[in-house]
Chains A and B, each alone.
Chain A
Amino acid sequence: DTEVTQTPKHLVMGMTNKKSLKCEQHMGHRAMYWYKQKAKKPPELMFVYSYEKLSINESVPSRFSPECPNSSLLNLHLHALQPEDSALYLCASSQGLGASGYTFGSGTRLTVV
């Protein structure tokens, strides 16, 4: 299994809603990542988990809350988002520190209304 699976594929939420994005991989990768990508821009790193511990938070607003329940799962909890948070949210995983590259999920396309 060489996939990173993200759910849901599409999400529309209001600014007062609470929702969660989910990511799962069964490649035995011990590093997992959340990226945000706006249209016609490259992905921007949000969070890095290494061995289920948060190792990098790129000054992401607290309305985004990551969680790593186990080595195969990564969640991103969303609360009180703004319309400008609408984007493609990509999960990725890597073996070790990523010297062999990252594998990306197909993303969740989020629209905040």
Chain B
Amino acid sequence: RKEVEQDPGPFNVPEGATVAFNCTYSNSASQSFFWYRQDCRKEPKLLMSVYSSGNEDGRFTAQLNRASQYISLLIRDSKLSDSATYLCVVLLRSSASKIIFGSGTRLSIRP
């Protein structure tokens, strides 16, 4: 079993739609959680951290369920510019930091 698993995608949705991504992680020692966005042939960029209380940043809402070892990302009113690969990322608790990437979910927004 992979340490971080994501929806395989691709998601192809119309502009203005709401889309949700899910991610599960297997290591209960996981400490911190993030969603990164990666555009084609570019580096990953931090979209938002994910907290148990849930957090929102504009059209983006992230949620963490530690009991179920589950992370989600909700994008409301999607824009063409939201088209990218979304990576679920988990930081393992250890003496040296180590982040594990999910395989990514490709999102394509159509006009």
Contact = CB atoms under 8 A, between A and B. Distances in A.
Interface stretch (A60-68, A72-80, A90-98): A90-98
Contacts of A43: 44, 101
B81 interface: no
A101 interface: yes
Contact of B46 (A44, A56, A102, A105): A102
Nearest to A99: B32
Secondary structure dominating the interface of B? strand
B103 interface: yes
A96 B92 CA distance: 13
A50 B96 contact: yes
A107 B43 contact: yes
Contacts of B32: 98-99, 101
A109 B43 CA distance: 11
Interface residues of A, number: 26
Contacts of B46: 101-103
Contact of B96 (A56, A101, A103): A56
A59 interface: no
Contacts, number: 54
B43 A42 contact: no
A104 interface: yes
B93 to A, nearest CB: 8
B102 A42 contact: yes
Most buried by A among B41, B44, B100, B104: B44
B69 interface: no
B75 interface: no
A43 B4 CA distance: 13
B31 interface: yes
Interface of B: 31-32, 34, 41-46, 49, 87, 91, 95-104
